[in-house]
Structure 1
Amino acid sequence: MTQVTLEKTETLAEANSVPSAANWLEIADTLAEQLASTAIVRDQTGGHAHEQRELIRDSGLLSLSIPTEFGGAGQPWSLIYQVVRRLARADSALAHVFAFHHLQVSSVLLYGNDDQIRHYLTTTVKQRLFWGNTLNPLDKRTIATEHPDGGYIFEGDKSFCSGARGSDYITASAWHEPSQSLVVAGLPTRREGVRVHEDWDAIGQRQTDSGTVSFHKVRVQPNEVLLYPGKPWTPAAHFRANLAQLVLVNLYVGIAEGAFTEAQRYTLEEAQPWFTSDAASSAADPYIQHRYGELRVKLRAAQVLADRAGELAATYFAKGPEITAEERGDTAIAIAEAKVASHHAALEISNQLFDITGARGVKREYGFDRFWRNARTHTLHDPLDYKLRDLGRFTLWGDYPTPTSYS
C-alpha cells in the first residue's frame, strides 16, 4: 500500500473542532493506511516502532477516551473499540499499543480520585502523553513497601509490560505483602529507578514493546497512588478487566478482518485455479467459494458479538462508580461470548488464508504469516477454556464470572 501523509488527518481535525464519530473513524482509516504501508517489513524486523507511534500521537486519537472536561474527545468505548479493530486489520501490534494507552486512561478514571483524574488527564491532553502498562497482576515480583514520609517504594521486575517502551507515563502495580494485595500508581516512565528493557521476543505481536520493566528503589508519592492496598474492590474497579478483555476481542476481530481481506484480494487479483478444476478462475472454484462462505459466517458472528459487548461496556462504563455487580457480570458474559467467537475466527481465518491462497501465498513478500502469528501469540493471553467454563456456569446456574483481572 502506498505511503500517505497526515495531511488528511490534519484537515479533518482543523475542520471539526469537535470531530464526530465518523470523522474519528476516517482519521483511524487514514492512520491504518500509514501503518499498513510498512507493516510487513516492521513485523519481520521487530523492535520498537517509534515513527509509527508518533503517527498515532499526531493523529489525535490518544485523546479519544479522555472526557471533554479535561480537553479530550470524550468518545465512548464502543467507538474506541471500532478504532482498535480498524488499526488491527493493518497492524495488530500497534493497535494493541494504542488500545493499552486507553486502558491506562480508564485505570485513572476507575481508580483515581477527582484531583488525580483532573491532573493526569489534563496533563495527558496538553502534553500529548502516551501511556504504557506495567500492571500485570500475576507477576508479584515488584514489591511495595511503605515510605516513612508517605507513599511507597517499588522494587523488583514486572513482565508483559505492553507499551511501556516509548511511553511517557505508566500505570504500575506492586505487591504489598502485609495486606496481600496490590498497590497501583501512575508514574512518569522516566522516573529515577525505572528501567524499561528491550527484551520482548515473541513469534507475533513483535512491536507491542511488551518486555520487562525493572523498578529499583522507585519513589511513589502519595498523590500518585491510584489504588491503596487492602482497599475493597468495587464493581467499578473490577470493570477495568472487562475493558481489557474487550480490547483483546477487537484485536482478534481486526486480525481476522485483515486476513480475510488479504485473502479476498489475492483470490480476485492473483490466484490461479487448481489444474484439475473446471473453474475459469480461483474465485469461480466452488471449493474456494465454500471456504469463503464458512469463514464469512465465523467472522460475522465475531463482529456482531464484539459490537454488542462494546455497546454494553460503553453504557456501563459511563456510570463510573455507580456500576453494579450485575452490570459488570452481564458485560463479562457478553465479552466471554465475543471472545470465544473472535478467538476462533482469528485463528481459523489466518490459518485457512493459506489453504485459499495456495503454495505461492507463503512468499515472504506477502507477509500473510503475520496474521496467524499475531493471532496465535495474542490468543494465549488467558486460557479460552476458562471463558467457556464461565459461560457454562452462567448457562446452567446463572452464576456470573468471579471478578478477577482476567474475567
Structure 2
Amino acid sequence: MTLIAPDPTTHRHPAWADTPRDAGGWIARAREVAAVLADDALARDRAGAPPAAEVALLKESGLVTLLGPAAHGGGGQTWETAYRVIREIARGDGSIGQLLGYHYLWAWAVRLVGTDAQIAAVEQLYTEGRLLFGGAVNPRDADLVVTEDGDELVFSGRKSFSTGGVVSDLTVLEGVLQGTDTHIFAIVPTDQEGIVFARDWDNLGQRLTESGSVEIRDVRVDWSGAAGFVDRVFQPLVYNTLNVPAIQLVFANFYLGIAQGALDQAAGYTREHSRAWPYGGDDKERAVDEWYVLEGYGQIQSKLWADEALVDAAGAEISAALHAPREELTPERRGRIAARIAAAKLRIAEDGLEAATKVFELTGARATANAVGLDIHWRNLRTHTLHDPIPYKKREVGQYALLGKDPEPTWYT
C-alpha cells in the first residue's frame, strides 16, 4: 500500500471511524499507521517533500489527539501510552515518529507551564481541530527577543531548528524578554505572515521532519497568552522542568523504534534474499542457518529487548509524574526520573547505532544496494543521536550512581 493523502472532503479515514477506547487500541492503531508508512518510507525519504500526507494520516487516525481530553474528542491517554505510540510509528518511519513525538511534547507544553485557563483553552482548540504542533524553541539559539508593546508581546528573531514547523498548525514560540533573563513561551497559529520558514532542512537523516530554520518577524501575542504568567509574573514549579526529561524520552522511544525497524527489515531480507557462505568449512544451505548470522541477530534482539525494558520503566515513572498534580513533584523525584531517562537514552543510542550497522554484516553485500535502502535506519539514528552529546548523559548517570547527585535542570537535562 502506498501512502496517499486522504480525501480532503472527509475528516477520518473510513477504516478509522471509531476512536480507540484504551491503551491497547491506540497502540494497535499506531501499528496500522506504521504499516502504511513503512510501505514507501524509503521513496518518501529520497523525495524529501514536506510530509503533508503523512501528517494528514496522523490526523485521520486520531493519533494527534492521543493526549487530548476525551471530553473534546481526544484519546485521554497517558504519556506511558504516548511513548509506545511514538515507538511504533518510528518503527515504520523514523521521521514521522519524531514529528509525532515532538507534537505530543509541544501539545503538553501548556500543561507544563501554563495556567489552568490556558490549559483548558489550548487543549480544547488542538483536540477538537486535530491540530499539529511545531516548535521554534531551540535553546542554543538565544536570538529570539520578546519586547513589550502595551498589552502585547512581540516576538522577533530566528531559530536554526524548527521541527515540524512547515506542516504544523500551531507553533510554540520561546524567547527572552528584552532587558531581562525571563523566558516566555506562547502558542500561536503557524499560518501567518510573521512566521517564515527557510525550508532549508537537507540533512543526512530524519529528512522528513522539516527541522529547518525559521524567522519570526514581529509576531504579536497578548500578554494573557504568555504561558504561566499571572499579572505578568511567571509562577514557577518544579513540574515546569519536566519538559526536558519528557522530550529526552521521546528521543529514546523513536530511537528504539528506528532500531526495531532496522531489525525488522534486515531479518526479512536475510530470510528472503541472503545466501549462505560456501567457503567456511561448515557450509549451510541457507543463510538463516549460519551460526554467525543467528548469533548476530540474537545479540541485536537481546540488546533491544533490554533497552525496551529500560525505556518502558522510565516511561512509566515519568508518566506517573506528568499526570499527577503539578504541585506534588519534588526536586528529588524529578532528579531520579531524569537520571533514569538519561540512562535509557544513552543505552538505546549506542545499541541502536550498533544494530543499524551490524545488520549489514548479517544481510550481505547485496543488501547495500540503494534499492534495498537499509541505510535509512542508520542515517536517521546517526542524525538525531547528535542532538546533544551522549557523553554528558553518561556523566549525569555516573554522578547519580557514584555521588548521589541529581541531574541539574537545564535546557538539555
**TM class by smaller structure:** over 0.9
Report the Cα offset of residue 219 of structure 1.
Answer: 1.0
Aligned to 1:340: 346
Alpha-carbon distance change, 302 to 230 in structure 1, aligned in 2, over 3 angstroms: farther
Secondary structure of the equivalent of 1:165?
helix
> Which of these residues, 256, 261, 270, is aligned with residue 258 of structure 1?
261
Secondary structure of the equivalent of 1:350?
helix
1:126-205, aligned counterparts within 5 Å? Answer: 126-147=128-149, 149-205=150-206
Q: Match for 1:92: what amino acid?
A: G
* 1:221-249 superposed Cα distances (whole Å, 9 cap, x missing partner): 11221145974642210001111000000
Q: Match for 1:121: what amino acid?
A: E
8 Å contact 1:5–1:34 — kept in the other structure?
no
Alpha-carbon distance change, 398 to 128 in structure 1, aligned in 2, over 3 angstroms: same
Alpha-carbon distance change, 70 to 373 in structure 1, aligned in 2, over 3 angstroms: same
> Which of these residues, 55, 67, 91, is aligned with residue 89 of structure 1?
91
> Which of these residues, 357, 367, 374, is aligned with residue 373 of structure 2?
367
Percent sequence identity is 34
Report the Cα offset of residue 372 of structure 1.
Answer: 0.3
> Which of these residues, 302, 305, 313, is aligned with residue 300 of structure 1?
305
How far, CA to CA, are the matches of 1:291 and 1:394 in structure 2? 33
| Alignment: residue pair count | 404
Secondary structure of the equivalent of 1:173?
strand
Alpha-carbon distance change, 364 to 100 in structure 1, aligned in 2, over 3 angstroms: same
Q: Match for 2:261: what amino acid?
A: G
8 Å contact 2:278–2:284 — kept in the other structure?
no
1:365-404, aligned counterparts within 5 Å? Answer: 365-404=371-410
Aligned to 1:60: 62
* 1:113-166 superposed Cα distances (whole Å, 9 cap, x missing partner): 11111111111122221111111122111111111x223111110121101111
How far, CA to CA, are the matches of 1:176 and 1:6 in structure 2? 42
How far, CA to CA, are the matches of 2:154 and 2:2 in structure 1? 49
Report the Cα offset of residue 10 of structure 1.
Answer: 5.0
How far, CA to CA, are the matches of 1:14 and 1:252 in structure 2? 31
TM (normalized to structure 2)? 0.93
Farther-moved stretch of structure 1 (114-123 vs 238-247)? 114-123
How far, CA to CA, are the matches of 1:356 and 1:31 in structure 2? 28
8 Å contact 1:268–1:282 — kept in the other structure?
yes
How far, CA to CA, are the matches of 1:245 and 1:296 in structure 2? 23
Report the Cα offset of residue 298 of structure 1.
Answer: 1.4
How far, CA to CA, are the matches of 2:224 and 2:191 in structure 1? 17
* 1:234-266 superposed Cα distances (whole Å, 9 cap, x missing partner): 221000111100000001100110001111111
How far, CA to CA, are the matches of 1:200 and 1:393 in structure 2? 36
Q: Which 4+ residue blocks in structure 1 deviate beyond 4 angstroms?
A: 1-7, 9-13, 227-230
Alpha-carbon distance change, 12 to 20 in structure 1, aligned in 2, over 3 angstroms: farther
Report the Cα offset of residue 363 of structure 1.
Answer: 0.9
TM (normalized to structure 1)? 0.95
* 1:271-312 superposed Cα distances (whole Å, 9 cap, x missing partner): 001121312211111111111122122111111110001101
* 1:332-391 superposed Cα distances (whole Å, 9 cap, x missing partner): 111011111110121001011111111111111111111000000010011101110011
8 Å contact 2:115–2:228 — kept in the other structure?
no
Alpha-carbon distance change, 232 to 390 in structure 1, aligned in 2, over 3 angstroms: farther
Alpha-carbon distance change, 34 to 5 in structure 1, aligned in 2, over 3 angstroms: farther
Alpha-carbon distance change, 31 to 395 in structure 1, aligned in 2, over 3 angstroms: same
Aligned to 1:28: 30
8 Å contact 1:151–1:225 — kept in the other structure?
no
Aligned to 2:411: 405
8 Å contact 1:236–1:321 — kept in the other structure?
yes
8 Å contact 1:4–1:33 — kept in the other structure?
no
How far, CA to CA, are the matches of 2:147 and 2:156 in structure 1? 8
- Cα RMSD of the aligned pairs, angstroms, is 2.0
Alpha-carbon distance change, 111 to 70 in structure 1, aligned in 2, over 3 angstroms: farther
Unaligned runs of 5+ in 1: none
8 Å contact 2:5–2:53 — kept in the other structure?
no
Aligned to 2:285: 280
How far, CA to CA, are the matches of 1:101 and 1:2 in structure 2? 24
Q: Match for 1:317: what amino acid?
A: L
Farther-moved stretch of structure 1 (78-87 vs 43-52)? 43-52
